[in-house]
Amino acid sequence: MSDSETPSQPKLAGILTFPPEVVAALDEHCAVERLPRDRAICEIVAEYLRFKGYLRTRPAHEHRSPQGEMPEGL
């Protein structure tokens, strides 16, 4: 179990498969944002669901962009 997980959190590891170009883009995003892949995926999905109106709250562990940088919108 990683530091960011608690026993009450649902785990989806191992059930998602991404095309190579998505993996490459995700790896680049993780390197730039300095995030582990699982957390980056969670934040990307949460932001998309918020944008679409399905998620109305912020995640409990929101990533903050470095000062002066604004995250890109969808």
Question: Domain coordinates of the chain in residue numbers?
Answer: 20-52
pLDDT in tens, 39-72: 999 999 999 999 999 998 765 655 555 444 445 5
Distance (Å, rounded) from C-alpha 30 to C-alpha 24?
10
CA distances from 70 to 2, 3, 19, 22, 73 (A): 27, 26, 27, 22, 9
Nearest to 59 by CA among 73, 43, 71, 44: 43
Write down the pLDDT at residue 9.
Answer: 62
Q: Is the pTM of this model over 0.85?
A: no
Write down the pLDDT at residue 14.
Answer: 73
pLDDT tier for residue 12 given thresholds of 50, 70 and 90:
low
